[in-house]
């Protein structure tokens, strides 16, 4: 008999690939239903205006016109999604001073538009071309208002206020502390304060958002396909806003072309398109185009951190005091989460006794700001890691050595930080070796001493090399819960469904690996369903680096419930005590007797309800179980990123010579896929550091309308990258795993800005804002008189 031991830990190739490589994947835009109509949204071209009226007269005469609605038409019918889409537990509220007053966004703007791109009307027509034609004919009557274009002006007395119901542009404030930051600062031998700005950019998945909805009048039910990370959230909002039992709303995310957080909350279109399907009694499709994605799908980051670091002569950090502001844009569907994350993660892998942090969310007339891969962590890491470099340089200590002096050593783990996580539980770094990650990263770059020698030699020859690191810790696998449903099929297959949503991670492969091991079956005997509310009664979704931890654990627990019954039935069939039985190769057999077994298929038939079953007396029929895994708290991933850059004095060009990430996500269920997740995140982070930017002009007009303006990194822009996995198991869940979806994107901005600043140390230049622009680098050289005449020209 073939011995099956362990799919977990193997670099299995993905199940998802075959259909995607043959063009047989099914994305929302690919769905075609009989009698389907199409919609186009009419979006504001001005950042701030009062809507006096919307004229559909010309649009109604357009060929193929079906219907059109303005915000006023649906004001009392389709009510807004709650402003803040996530809940906050008591354990967090008790330790924070806060007020969260996030305004709700109308499904279609009815009174005011608050950013360029906000929809105030929708037009439905027989095809997409006709819908866009008709949408162009919609005439708004706007009273243009003064826009609030940046947070400084938003906070000034007399500024226009976006949301009258909030009363000011401050939509959330939160703060916490440990030790005594102010007193410790006063005592500190050295203190340095700077403003660190992490700029505005966005998730930018290659597939834009899309929604198809189909209403069935016989059952008064809706089926909705959305390109989303959170099908169960969408079901909840549709159910409550449209007044339907959630059981009558099925939301499916089919193949999804990337999410990265940008599809991690409910958008107005997710509710309005189903509403239209129900109203029109016809299937309806909406596919966002790239311009709409740039102006309307959530942006991210855009934080100013005024951070002061206090430290002694040896470089020991004694306190951090941080006061930061997030430019939230017009709404902030999950935005307070980013602020809470920044506060929880700012201290990173360091042992710092005194800490005060305060975050303020400010509304401006820009596109809404929501979590994107990292969600408050890249911003915090950027402020902290730049501060350490500046502090170290000020006392002549190498920044890498200063980090090693402050890191929590492995022997002090589990380490209690003294702050609550956003799940309300006190933060405990549970496993890892932070100094080792830093040392390995620097070694992989050739070692610090070697580099400093190379740097000095280069400088003498007019070459500008710099080294930079970025270290962080990341709470992963956050609750509140994730659902899994496991059941045995009459064919003997293990049917697994999870509330986690697959948008490129390879969940169908990963959860098959987990289930195959739990059941000791060949992996082909496991069938995995993701992102379908009909398959799992309650689910949460794929956000916050949590699916392997939470859905994986849910699969383990749900399986255990079914396995208990399977074992009892097998014991009855084999007339052998359960203690003498084992799961092996798709069957349950008697230990030590290879031929004595019953297959899972036979066990299913023995278990079925009705006549002639072979269940033990009093056992209920059915081999199926749901489990809702509620993690006790998060488990802590971490990494060090390190980069060597070279700067061109003539052009300011930043070339990343080599990039290294030493990452610990505990046990890797599939090392091939884990590596792909980290690498993909790193390149997004490198894009953030050097290329990607969403800018607005002084009138509040967005300057990025195509991917020719918003520069995503290409293969040519990607430096040589080495990824090293430490794989120190998590003690916090049954699989020993930690999350890794977001980690890659957290530290490249700080590693690269630190490296650029390091290369420019001869000129005492500090890069305390992202992105690093070539022209800024060149300006440093020009002012120092270093660029060649050609370069200066």
Partner 1 sequence: MTAPRKITLTINGTVRSAEAEPRMLLADFIRETLGLTGTHVGCEHGVCGACTIIVNGEAQRSCLAFAVQADGATITTIEGLAASDRMHPLQKLFHECHALQCGFCTPGMLAAALDLVGSHDRLTTEEIRTGMSAVICRCTGYDGIMRAVTAYADQLGKLAPAKG
Please report, as ranges, the residues that interact with partner 1 according to CB under 8 A.
13-14, 16-18, 20-27, 29-30, 32, 128-129, 204-208, 255-258, 260, 289-291, 503-506, 672-673, 675-676, 679-684, 706-708, 712, 714-718, 721, 744
Q: Nearest distance from residue 31's CB to partner 1, in Å? A: 9
Q: Nearest distance from residue 211's CB to partner 1, in Å? A: 16
CB 382 within 8 A of CB 293: no
Which of left, alpha, beta for 786 (phi over 0: left; psi -120 to 50: alpha)?
alpha
Q: Nearest distance from residue 688's CB to partner 1, in Å? A: 12
- Identify which of residues 127 and 580 has a Cβ nearer to partner 1 in the complex: 127
Phi and psi of 232, rounded to 5°? -70, -35
Residue with tokens 């911003």: 379
- What is the rounded CA–CA span in Å between residue 205 and residue 737? 26
- Identify which of residues 329 and 504 has a Cβ nearer to partner 1 in the complex: 504
- Identify which of residues 455 and 501 has a Cβ nearer to partner 1 in the complex: 501
* Beta-sheet strands, E only, within 543-648: 581-584, 587-590, 597-599, 624-629, 635-647
CB 366 within 8 A of CB 329: yes
Q: What is the DSSP string of 306-323?
A: EEEEEE-TT--EEEEEEE
- Identify which of residues 274 and 506 has a Cβ nearer to partner 1 in the complex: 506
Q: Nearest distance from residue 662's CB to partner 1, in Å? A: 16
- Identify which of residues 534 and 712 has a Cβ nearer to partner 1 in the complex: 712
- Quick check: bond before 259 cis, omega within 30? no
Among candidate residues 576, 569, 607, 617, the one with its CA nearest the CA of residue 593: 576
What are the residues whose beta carbons fall under 8 Å from the beta carbon of 700, sequence distance 6 or more?
46, 47, 48, 115, 116, 147, 148, 149, 364, 365, 366
Q: Nearest distance from residue 293's CB to partner 1, in Å? A: 9
- Identify which of residues 33 and 560 has a Cβ nearer to partner 1 in the complex: 33
Scored b (16 or more CB within 10 A) or e, 110-126 reads bebbbbbbbbbbbbbbe
- Identify which of residues 260 and 331 has a Cβ nearer to partner 1 in the complex: 260
Sign of the Cα torsion 434, 436, 437, 443 reads positive
Residues in the chain: 793
- What is the rounded CA–CA span in Å between residue 681 and residue 721? 12
**Running DSSP on this structure, what letter comes out for residue 43?**
E
- Quick check: bond before 450 cis, omega within 30? no
Scored b (16 or more CB within 10 A) or e, 274-301 reads bbbbbbbebbbbbbbeebbbbbbbbbbb
CB 708 within 8 A of CB 646: no
- Identify which of residues 475 and 719 has a Cβ nearer to partner 1 in the complex: 719
**Cβ count near 471 (within 10 Å):** 30
Q: Nearest distance from residue 296's CB to partner 1, in Å? A: 15
Q: Nearest distance from residue 30's CB to partner 1, in Å? A: 4
- Identify which of residues 57 and 715 has a Cβ nearer to partner 1 in the complex: 715
- Identify which of residues 677 and 726 has a Cβ nearer to partner 1 in the complex: 677
Q: Nearest distance from residue 524's CB to partner 1, in Å? A: 16
- Identify which of residues 260 and 429 has a Cβ nearer to partner 1 in the complex: 260
Q: Nearest distance from residue 21's CB to partner 1, in Å? A: 4
Q: In what order do the strands lie in the sheet with 221-226?
A: 65-70, 119-125, 37-43, 284-287, 210-216, 221-226, 249-252
- Identify which of residues 255 and 444 has a Cβ nearer to partner 1 in the complex: 255
Q: Nearest distance from residue 16's CB to partner 1, in Å? A: 7
Enumerate the β-bridge partners of residue 486. 496, 625
**Running DSSP on this structure, what letter comes out for residue 80?**
P
Q: Nearest distance from residue 288's CB to partner 1, in Å? A: 11
Q: Nearest distance from residue 263's CB to partner 1, in Å? A: 11
- What is the rounded CA–CA span in Å between residue 792 and residue 778? 9
Q: Is 23 exposed, middle or buried (0-12, 13-18, 19+ CB in 10 A)?
A: exposed
Q: Nearest distance from residue 197's CB to partner 1, in Å? A: 24
Q: Nearest distance from residue 205's CB to partner 1, in Å? A: 6
Q: What is the DSSP string of 463-492?
A: -EEEEEEEEEEEEES-SS-EEEEEEE-TTS
First to last CA, the chain: 77
- Identify which of residues 450 and 714 has a Cβ nearer to partner 1 in the complex: 714
Scored b (16 or more CB within 10 A) or e, 444-458 reads bbeebeebeeebeeb
- What is the rounded CA–CA span in Å between residue 173 and residue 285? 39
Q: Nearest distance from residue 709's CB to partner 1, in Å? A: 9
Q: Nearest distance from residue 596's CB to partner 1, in Å? A: 38
Q: Is 791 exposed, middle or buried (0-12, 13-18, 19+ CB in 10 A)?
A: middle
- Identify which of residues 205 and 466 has a Cβ nearer to partner 1 in the complex: 205
- What is the rounded CA–CA span in Å between residue 552 and residue 545? 12
- Identify which of residues 364 and 529 has a Cβ nearer to partner 1 in the complex: 529
Q: Nearest distance from residue 721's CB to partner 1, in Å? A: 7
- Identify which of residues 433 and 508 has a Cβ nearer to partner 1 in the complex: 508
- Identify which of residues 506 and 700 has a Cβ nearer to partner 1 in the complex: 506
Q: Can you read off the two tokens belonging to residue 362?
A: 């400010």
- What is the rounded CA–CA span in Å between residue 112 and residue 614? 67
* Beta-sheet strands, E only, within 352-414: 354-363
């Amino acid at each position: 008999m073939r011995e099956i031991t362990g799919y977990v830990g193997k670099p299995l190739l993905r199940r998802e690939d075959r259909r995607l490589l043959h063009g047989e994947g099914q994305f929302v835009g690919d769905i075609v239903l009989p009698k389907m109509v199409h919609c186009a949204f009419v979006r504001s071209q001005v950042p701030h205006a009062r809507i006096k009226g919307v004229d559909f007269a010309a649009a109604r005469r357009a060929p193929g016109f079906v219907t059109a609605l303005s915000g006023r038409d649906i004001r009392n019918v389709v009510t807004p999604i709650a402003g803040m889409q996530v809940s906050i537990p008591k354990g967090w509220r008790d330790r924070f001073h806060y007020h969260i007053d996030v305004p709700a966004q109308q499904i279609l703007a009815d009174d005011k538009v608050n950013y360029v791109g906000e929809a105030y009307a929708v037009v439905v027509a027989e095809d997409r071309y006709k819908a866009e034609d008709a949408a162009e004919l919609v005439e708004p009557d706007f009273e243009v208002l003064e826009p609030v274009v940046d947070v400084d002006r938003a906070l000034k007395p007399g500024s226009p206020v976006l949301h009258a119901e909030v009363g000011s542009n401050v939509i959330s404030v939160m703060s916490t502390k440990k030790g005594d930051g102010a007193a410790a600062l006063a005592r500190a031998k050295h203190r340095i304060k700077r403003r660190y700005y992490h700029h505005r950019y966005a998730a930018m998945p290659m597939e834009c958002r899309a929604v198809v909805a189909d209403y069935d009048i016989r059952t008064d039910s809706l089926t909705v396909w959305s390109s989303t990370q959170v099908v169960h959230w969408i079901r909840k909002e549709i159910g409550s806003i449209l007044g339907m039992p959630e059981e009558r709303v099925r939301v499916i995310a089919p193949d999804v072309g990337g999410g990265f957080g940008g599809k991690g909350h409910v958008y107005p279109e997710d509710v309005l398109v189903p509403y239209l399907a129900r109203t029109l009694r016809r299937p309806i499709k909406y596919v966002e185009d790239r311009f709409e994605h740039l102006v309307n799908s959530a942006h991210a980051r855009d934080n100013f951190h005024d951070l002061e670091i206090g430290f002694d002569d040896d470089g020991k950090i004694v306190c951090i005091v941080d006061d930061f502001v997030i430019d939230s844009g017009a709404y902030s569907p999950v935005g307070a989460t980013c602020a809470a994350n920044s506060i929880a993660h700012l201290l990173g892998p360091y042992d710092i006794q005194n800490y005060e942090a305060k975050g303020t969310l400010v509304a401006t007339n820009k596109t809404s700001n929501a979590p994107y891969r990292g969600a408050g962590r890249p911003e915090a890491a950027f402020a902290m890691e730049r501060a350490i470099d500046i502090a170290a340089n000020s006392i002549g200590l190498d920044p890498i050595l200063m980090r090693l002096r402050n890191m929590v050593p492995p022997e002090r783990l589990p380490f209690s930080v003294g702050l609550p996580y956003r799940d309300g539980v006190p933060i405990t770094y549970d496993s890892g070796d932070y100094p080792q990650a830093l040392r390995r990263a620097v070694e992989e770059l050739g070692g610090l001493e070697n580099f400093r020698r190379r740097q000095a030699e280069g400088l003498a020859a007019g070459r500008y090399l710099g080294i930079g690191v970025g270290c962080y810790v990341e709470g992963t696998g956050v609750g509140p819960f994730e659902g899994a449903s496991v059941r045995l099929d009459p064919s003997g297959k293990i049917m697994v469904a999870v509330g986690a949503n697959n948008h490129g991670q390879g969940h169908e492969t990963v959860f098959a690996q987990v289930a195959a091991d739990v059941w000791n079956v060949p992996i082909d005997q496991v069938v995995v369903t993701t992102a379908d509310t009909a398959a799992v009664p309650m689910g949460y979704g794929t956000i916050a680096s949590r699916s392997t931890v939470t859905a994986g654990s849910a699969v383990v627990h749900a399986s255990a419930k079914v396995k208990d019954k399977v074992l009892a039935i097998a014991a009855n069939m084999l007339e052998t005590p359960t203690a003498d039985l084992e799961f092996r190769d798709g069957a349950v057999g008697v230990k030590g007797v290879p031929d004595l077994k019953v297959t899972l298929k036979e066990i299913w038939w023995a278990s079925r309800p009705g006549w002639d079953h072979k269940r033990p007396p009093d056992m209920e029929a059915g081999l199926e179980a749901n489990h809702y895994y509620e993690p006790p708290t998060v488990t802590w991933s971490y990494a060090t990123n390190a980069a060597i850059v070279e700067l061109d004095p003539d052009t300011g060009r930043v070339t990343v010579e080599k990039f290294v990430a030493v990452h610990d996500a505990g046990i890797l269920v599939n090392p091939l896929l884990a590596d792909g997740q980290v690498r993909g995140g790193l390149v997004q982070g490198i894009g953030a550091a050097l290329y990607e930017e969403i800018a607005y002009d002084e009138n509040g007009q967005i300057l990025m309308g195509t991917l020719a303006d918003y520069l995503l990194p290409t293969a040519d822009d990607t430096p040589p990258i080495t990824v090293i996995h430490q794989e120190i198991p998590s003690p916090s869940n049954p699989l020993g795993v930690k999350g890794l979806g977001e980690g890659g994107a957290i530290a490249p901005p700080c590693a690269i800005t630190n490296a650029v600043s390091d290369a420019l140390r001869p000129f005492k230049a500090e890069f305390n804002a992202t992105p690093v622009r070539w022209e800024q680098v060149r300006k440093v050289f020009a002012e120092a008189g270093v660029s060649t005449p050609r370069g200066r020209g």
